Amino acid sequence: MKRYPGILLIWLLIPLCWASAAEGPTINMDLYQIVSGMESEAGTRDWQYALSGTALVSFTSPSSGNVRGDIALDFSFPTEAITLKRAYMRIRFPSFRLTMGKTRLGWGSGALFNSGDVIFGSTDTQVALTDTELRTTTAWLTAVNLPLGTFSFIEAVVLPHQTFALEDTALGGRFYTTVGNLKLEAGCISKVDNGRLYSPYISLQGNIGPDWYLSSSVDLPVSENPLTAAKESLDISFGLFHMVRIGIDQTLSLRLESLIRPFQSWTDQFSALANYGLLFYAEASFVPDNTLTYLLRSEISPIDQSAALMAGVSWKVFQDFSLNSYLVGNIGDSDDLFPWKGQLGAMVGASWVY
């Protein structure tokens, strides 16, 4: 573990070398006034007020040449925590591309539920529905991308384990191509999580009027019966996305995703930690002009009949400055996946990029 700070420092210093040649830092600041209320055991409602926010400071290299990089620090208030969000460099060789550092690889398809994301995992429901991007986890990795044609490539990735033990290193690869109007992506990662396991996945995308996407993966531990493990871990994500032009320049975007785990629970388990066999994610976004966006998002658990809801509006008032407001709340019993608990939240704030 003593090696960790040293390695971290080296990784930080490498991108900072060209951070000095960057076009200047970009700061993305979000500040929110939060008013939330929760029902106490005595039946009274306790109201709270807080000021919260984040500032993402990003040093990006110029968008030219064959070496690029980005380093981004995330400052959170009021905890005053600083986290390294991204720190990577990317090198373009004549026949392949190398990425090293802390970044994200987007395997599979899906905004919330993506069974193809076998590196970071995109099947849990612990997300902030007010965030623009629902999945932003990054990890230290080295990846090689080998183009096979205009719309095809192979990608290999190596991720060190938290213990830095060589035998616990994660290795993976994927193949991405298009066949007619269909996108086909398949890959596998081998990682250590209570023993080594292999997680193959497949991801497809096409159009039937709306765009559709389908991903599926399983975890196959080396030490267990693969068939039993496959049944336990099999999950399938399916999504539909459609944009509708209303009038001349108004746009309505609709997204519906589902996560299907055939061998998990299909009856109410009366537990907020239950692994249910079916979950939905629904999103509707209406853009009446180039300054306003109305957004509705919901995670739905049909088996225990609970849901998390978010309604928001964003108004781009000035150049790179927006006023945002959100209402969030759950609908469900106290032992459901999305328990009500009498909790309601309202956020009003601003976003500024400079």
Which residues would be at the binding site for other proteins (CB under 8 A)?
Answer: 26, 58, 60, 63, 68, 70, 72, 86, 90, 92, 97, 103-106, 109, 133, 135-136, 145, 147, 149-153, 176, 178, 181, 183, 205-207, 209-211, 241-245, 248-249, 251, 287, 289-291, 316-320, 353-354
Phi, psi dihedrals of residue 10, rounded to the nearest 5°: -60, -45
Give 128 or 244: the residue with its C-beta nearer to other proteins. Answer: 244
Query: Min. distance of Cβ 82 from other proteins in angstroms?
Result: 18
Max Cα–Cα distance, the chain, nearest Å: 68
Query: Min. distance of Cβ 66 from other proteins in angstroms?
Result: 9
Give 161 or 316: the residue with its C-beta nearer to other proteins. Answer: 316
3-class DSSP assignment, residue 3: helix
Give 38 or 256: the residue with its C-beta nearer to other proteins. Answer: 256
Cα 146 to chain centroid distance, Å, stands at 24
Query: Min. distance of Cβ 81 from other proteins in angstroms?
Result: 19
Give 16 or 254: the residue with its C-beta nearer to other proteins. Answer: 254
CA R_g for the chain: 22
Picking from 12, 226, 186, the residue whose alpha carbon sits closest to that of residue 101 is: 12
Give 255 or 261: the residue with its C-beta nearer to other proteins. Answer: 255
Query: Min. distance of Cβ 129 from other proteins in angstroms?
Result: 16
Query: Min. distance of Cβ 313 from other proteins in angstroms?
Result: 15
- Scanning the chain, the segments in alpha helix (DSSP H) are 3-19, 226-233
3-class DSSP assignment, residue 123: coil
Helix (H) or strand (E) holding 319: none
* CA atoms of 216 and 237, how far apart (whole Å): 6
Q: Do residues 161 and 68 touch, judged by C-beta distance below 8 A?
A: no
Query: Min. distance of Cβ 151 from other proteins in angstroms?
Result: 6
Give 212 or 263: the residue with its C-beta nearer to other proteins. Answer: 212
Query: Min. distance of Cβ 54 from other proteins in angstroms?
Result: 13
Alpha-carbon torsion, ordered 70, 321, 282, 274, to 10 deg = 60
* CA atoms of 78 and 53, how far apart (whole Å): 7
- Local structure of residue 44 (DSSP, 8 states): P
Give 143 or 229: the residue with its C-beta nearer to other proteins. Answer: 143
Query: Min. distance of Cβ 20 from other proteins in angstroms?
Result: 18
3-class DSSP assignment, residue 124: coil
∠ CA 243-241-307, nearest 5°, is: 115
Give 114 or 301: the residue with its C-beta nearer to other proteins. Answer: 114
